Amino acid sequence: MDTAAQYITVTALSHPGLIREHNEDSLVAGPWTLCGTVTENPQTLMFPLGSPVVVAVADGIGGQPGGEVASALTVAHLAALGPTLDSEEAVRAAVIRCNRAVYAAAERDRALTGMGTTVAGTVVLPEALLIFNVGDSRVLEAGEDGLRQVSVDDSPPLPAGQRTTSLVTQAIGGASRFVAVTPHVRTVPLLTGRRYVVCTDGLTDPVLEEEIAAVLHEHDGGRAVFELWKAAIEAGAPDNITLALVGVGG
């Protein structure tokens, strides 16, 4: 990593889209959380490079009770645990803890039985990033060599000609009885000049990857986040849209 890098910028936005009545998405950036909120103006936060900084989104599962509760619980736990997430093992344990917390909340309130959420994010360390997810929310890496997905979708194989699906093969919560999760966790080097989009499928379902890449090629910061949100809106925005753009500066 470039030793001149001294800070992390996180620019985020969350919006219900054009079809859903409520926003069941949540977001965490360091100690800050955004749950079920409507924002059309991107918000930018800066963090010193040093202690672990977690940036993640959680997409409450629609069609089941309490999606917004499950997503909010998940980001609250990640915010609280964020400073301790200094290894793949710590991240994996934190996501497993989120899963147990969602099931425990549903056990206390039977009206929430079956509530669930996806989660995807990154933890920024001084020399590396830890990428993690459960479900189909995504982390995308953008650099001079283009855009690539660095998370792993938990979704069934798609039939020929179908680009997206609303089905997930594992989630945080989401069942009437406890089901363990196996989080996807990987380490990538921290490189100045690379940016990371952490987002729910409200962005990646309606907006093609090449469109996302084109926006990131043309814009940075708040303008990039706004243009990505605008692209999802212009594509019909059938789902909640939540995204964060993570960058490293000097």
DSSP notation for 148-200: EE-S----PPPPTT----S--S--EE-SSS------EEEEEE--TT-EEEEE-
pLDDT score for 6: 87
User: What confidence tier does 166 reach under pLDDT thresholds 50, 70, 90?
Assistant: confident
Residue 18, both tokens:
């054009």
H/E stretch holding 139 reads strand 138-143
Homologous superfamily in CATH for domain 22-193+218-249: PPM-type phosphatase domain (3.60.40.10)
Does position 51 have pLDDT exceeding 80, yes or no?
yes
3-state secondary structure of 115: coil
Instruction: State the sign of the Cα–Cα–Cα–Cα dihedral 224, 16, 167, 234.
Output: negative
* Eight-state DSSP code of residue 205: T
H/E stretch holding 10 reads strand 7-15
Mean pLDDT of 204-213: 96
Q: 218 to each of 45, 93, 131, 150, 213, how far by Cα in Å?
A: 21, 38, 25, 21, 9
Q: Minimal CA–CA distance to 199: which of 158, 163, 244?
A: 244
Instruction: State the sign of the Cα–Cα–Cα–Cα dihedral 214, 218, 221, 224.
Output: negative
Does position 162 have pLDDT exceeding 70, yes or no?
no
> What are the backbone angles phi and psi of residue 3, rounded to the nearest 5°?
-70, -10
Does position 147 have pLDDT exceeding 90, yes or no?
yes
Residue ranges per structural domain of the chain: 22-193+218-249
Tell me the pairing of strands 43-48 and 25-29: unpaired
Which range, 86-90, 145-149, 192-196, is most confident?
86-90
Residue 203: CB atoms within 10 A of its CB come to 28
Does position 3 have pLDDT exceeding 50, yes or no?
no
